[in-house]
Amino acid sequence: MTPSGHLTHRRPALRATLKALLFGAIAVLVFSVHSPVATATPGTPSASAATTPAKPIAKSTVSTAGGAAAANPAAAPGRIRSASLARKPYDATDCYECHAEVKAFHVDGGHKTVGCDSCHGGLDTHKAKGKGRPSTNMDPASCGSCHDNQYRTMYNMNTDKKANREKSVATFGAMDKILTPHGFTREHNEPRSHAFALYDQVVVDRAFGGRFANKEGNAGLTRMGGNFKIWDVLIDEFPGEPHKTFKPGTAAAANPVCMSCKTSDHILDWAYMGDPHPQAKWSRLSKVNEFVKDTNHSLNCNFCHDPHAAKPRIIRDGLIQALTRPEADTLWHKDPKGAKINVVELGERGFTRKIAMLSRYDSKLQCAQCHVEYNCNPGTDPATGQAVTMADARTNHFPFKAVDDIQQHYKDLKFGDFRHGMTGAMLWKGQHADVETFYNSKHQLAGVECADCHMPKVKDAKTGKTYTSHWQTSPRHYIKETCLNCHKEWSEKQALYAIDSLKERWTGKMRKAEFWLTRLIDKFEQAQNMGVDAAVLAEARSKHADAHIHYEWWSATNGAHFHNPQQFEASINKGMGISQAGIKLLDDAMARRRPAAPAATPTAVAPESPAARPQAAALKPTSLTVNPR
């Protein structure tokens, strides 16, 4: 038989074999692209990230020509085994019977074709008996497997923002005098990229007493952003020890509430407002050194995007409480353009949780989950002098008000942050009131929102498709996509010049305010040492607290020079005026305590001789010339 005849004789079997191999290869390709468990290197999207998944594909069996099932292609060396190959993708309708609230989100949402097993594990065991808690994947990389551009830009790094750059350096030490003895005097850094939001909170000197350190030491500073798990890079140098100060120059001021705007890894184990509940793993009262080890990721996607509905939402309980309190007194309540909210109570695990779905994406609310003034620490009731501990709901509180209203709000709340170490005045320690500052600015009243400048629409260089950048950085990096969208007559150079000029104005005013505020503190010490009346000192403390508000707000707020320059100037000038009034009050009081100078005793004066008169005339003073420069 000729070779060709041999081939002809075996052609049907060969054709069947080739066909089976072809379909097997296609199946492997499809499952590897749509696998919900594809892995990613920290800071790098998964291999499937650039592909938008279709509806989950059911497992297929590839038969050989002889009819036997082919070997599982995912078992081949170098391949990632997909859960979808091992079993049929989970049908969400199997969960609806018990999870009615999830059904309400899921059936009409953008993720309605995404199976529950894309984010949850252990479903087979859970479904069979309705027992056992499924696992939930909180890693943003899970979202990045579909939303590649958003995920990639979210963890970009702005290298202009250096690690460990303290605000006290910018103020030439004035800040330490202004805030002493608050924990922020241990280390009060300027913010850097969102990729480090959780990491920086853990290693800052004021939080955990120097307990945690980078495994690589200072070489860890070379990490250029990316989505990484903090416990892959950090080490506990004092394992087994309670939360306390370990190293000189540090403080142990961290608590679970202050971690809640850095990560949502704990959200399913946290009751509304962090209230203690026997079935909630974590609360305001939890040991923070244990709580923090149950977190890993900075700023999860589910802060702003509901994973079931793929619609906008907020999850920070302090903000939800502010928006729903009966007084209806927040800036949002006065904003006719703001998104409407629908608060949904969730409580599958025996305790109440709340989220608020938004009628549209409103970055003023979504950014306000973190970029606001909020109280997240213990303090003092000024009316009674009693300590306000973490057991009190006032330690998880959002005022969501403007600078001129913040002092009265905390008086009504009966909460003070700390007593100043020199004057004894009960003072407020501000957080980053970025959103409140932006409200009622010219840009906000014109309809501009946070995302317009910090998360603009940009084009994918490869596909040409438009997407929302999630870098969330200064518009300096997006001038064409931000400023020049409206100010079309400007050049990039002009826009940057305007931004920098506003910053210079802010810097100059802040330096002046620091001078007068620290001068007031120094005068108080001087007056106290002179024994000035207690009533005068009490009035001076009150003025110190008032003036402090109008400095601290602008010191703590990011981008104040641009977000609302008119409000900044009015407030900072008001604060300087209060400082000057306090100084005058103390100067007058000290002047009254100084003994009067004794009257001078007249002395006999010899008669002037006629010969001396021409000499006296020669000593007549001349006028003083002042250089006008």
The 3-state secondary structure of 149-176, one letter per residue? HHHHHHCCCCCCCCCCCEHHHHCCCHHH
Which residue, of 111, 141, 171, is where some domain finishes?
A: 141
The DSSP bridge partners found for residue 419 are 426
Which residue, of 141, 165, 193, is where some domain finishes?
A: 141
Side chain identity, residue 255: N
- Note if the pTM is more than 0.85: no
Taking alpha carbons only, the member of 101, 93, 29 closest to residue 62 is 29
Q: Label residue 190 by pLDDT band (50, 70, 90).
A: confident
Residue 612 has pLDDT above 80, yes or no: no
Who's near 354: CB < 8 A, 6+ residues apart? 272, 317, 320, 343, 344, 345, 346
Helix axes 565-593, 492-529, angle to 10 degrees: 20
Which residue, of 591, 606, 622, is where some domain finishes?
A: 591
Who's near 517: CB < 8 A, 6+ residues apart? 174, 178, 547, 548, 551, 575, 579
- What is the number of domains present in the chain? 2
pLDDT of amino acid 602: 65
| Residue with more model confidence, 36 or 227 | 227
- % of the chain surpassing 90 pLDDT: 69
Query: What is the per-residue burial (b if ≥16 Cβ within 10 Å, else e) of 458-469?
Result: beeeeeeeeeeb
Torsion of CA 533, 534, 540, 543, to 10 degrees: -140
Helix axes 492-529, 534-556, angle to 10 degrees: 160
pLDDT of amino acid 97: 84
Residue 94 maps to a domain: yes
Residue 14 has pLDDT above 90, yes or no: no
pLDDT of amino acid 157: 92
Residue 57 exposed, middle or buried by CB count within 10 Å (0-12, 13-18, 19+): middle
CATH number of the domain residue 567 falls in:
1.20.140.10
Q: Label residue 615 by pLDDT band (50, 70, 90).
A: very low
Q: Label residue 598 by pLDDT band (50, 70, 90).
A: confident
pLDDT of amino acid 424: 97
Q: Label residue 563 by pLDDT band (50, 70, 90).
A: very high
Cα separation of 57 and 53, whole Å?
A: 10
Computed over every residue of the chain, the mean pLDDT equals 84
Residue 580 has pLDDT above 80, yes or no: yes
Residue 587 has pLDDT above 90, yes or no: yes
- 247-253 mean pLDDT: 95
Cα separation of 197 and 194, whole Å?
A: 5
Task: Decide: 229 and 211 in contact? Cβ < 8 Å.
Answer: no
- % of the chain surpassing 70 pLDDT: 80
Q: Label residue 77 by pLDDT band (50, 70, 90).
A: very low
The DSSP bridge partners found for residue 313 are 357
| Residue with more model confidence, 48 or 458 | 458
Cα separation of 254 and 283, whole Å?
A: 13
Residue 149 maps to a domain: no
Torsion of CA 374, 379, 382, 387, to 10 degrees: 140
pLDDT of amino acid 93: 82
| Residue with more model confidence, 591 or 612 | 591
* Number of other CB atoms surrounding residue 341 within 10 Å: 20
Side chain identity, residue 204: V
Lowest mean pLDDT among 127-141, 282-296, 517-531: 127-141
- 595-608 mean pLDDT: 67
Q: Label residue 464 by pLDDT band (50, 70, 90).
A: very high
Residue 329 maps to a domain: no
Residue 99 maps to a domain: yes
Taking alpha carbons only, the member of 404, 318, 411, 309 closest to residue 365 is 318
Cα separation of 455 and 460, whole Å?
A: 14
pLDDT tens string 120-138? 998 888 877 667 788 999 9
Lowest mean pLDDT among 5-19, 354-368, 392-406, 441-455: 5-19
Residue 90 exposed, middle or buried by CB count within 10 Å (0-12, 13-18, 19+): buried
Range of the domain at 462: 442-591
Cα separation of 388 and 380, whole Å?
A: 5
C-alpha dist (Å) from residue 338 to 26, 334, 402 = 49, 9, 16
pLDDT tens string 405-462? 999 999 999 999 999 999 999 999 999 999 999 999 999 999 999 999 999 999 999 9
CATH number of the domain residue 80 falls in:
1.10.287.3080
Query: What is the per-residue burial (b if ≥16 Cβ within 10 Å, else e) of 414-434?
Result: ebbbbbbebbebbbbbbbbbb
Residue 527 maps to a domain: yes
Residue 627 has pLDDT above 90, yes or no: no
Residue 238 maps to a domain: no
pLDDT of amino acid 476: 93
Side chain identity, residue 610: P
Taking alpha carbons only, the member of 435, 563, 561 closest to residue 500 is 561
pLDDT of amino acid 423: 98
| Residue with more model confidence, 174 or 17 | 174
Q: Side-chain half-sphere of 162: how many Cα atoms within 13 Å?
A: 4
pLDDT of amino acid 188: 86
Torsion of CA 250, 253, 259, 265, to 10 degrees: 80
Lowest mean pLDDT among 428-432, 522-526, 618-622: 618-622
Cα separation of 364 and 343, whole Å?
A: 17
Phi, then psi, of 514 in degrees rounded to 5: -65, -40
Cα separation of 80 and 352, whole Å?
A: 39
pLDDT tens string 535-557? 999 999 999 999 999 999 999 99
Cα separation of 399 and 413, whole Å?
A: 10
Cα separation of 254 and 428, whole Å?
A: 17
Q: Label residue 603 by pLDDT band (50, 70, 90).
A: low
Residue 100 has pLDDT above 60, yes or no: yes
Cα separation of 172 and 271, whole Å?
A: 43
| Residue with more model confidence, 488 or 95 | 488
Which runs of consecutive H residues, i.e. helices, occur in 331-415? 363-367, 403-413
- 481-492 mean pLDDT: 96
Residue 218 maps to a domain: no
Cα separation of 461 and 463, whole Å?
A: 6
First to last CA, the chain: 112
For residue 334 the two structure tokens come to 């006065």
Tell me if the bond preceding 276 is cis, omega within 30° of 0: no
According to DSSP, residue 334 is labeled G
Q: Side-chain half-sphere of 418: how many Cα atoms within 13 Å?
A: 17
| Residue with more model confidence, 601 or 366 | 366
For residue 629 the two structure tokens come to 């420069």
Residue 450 maps to a domain: yes
For residue 533 the two structure tokens come to 């009346």
Q: Label residue 349 by pLDDT band (50, 70, 90).
A: confident
For residue 266 the two structure tokens come to 């704990």
pLDDT of amino acid 90: 72
Torsion of CA 340, 343, 344, 349, to 10 degrees: 150
For residue 432 the two structure tokens come to 């980053």
Phi, then psi, of 542 in degrees rounded to 5: -60, -40
Torsion of CA 494, 496, 498, 502, to 10 degrees: -170
Cα separation of 322 and 438, whole Å?
A: 18
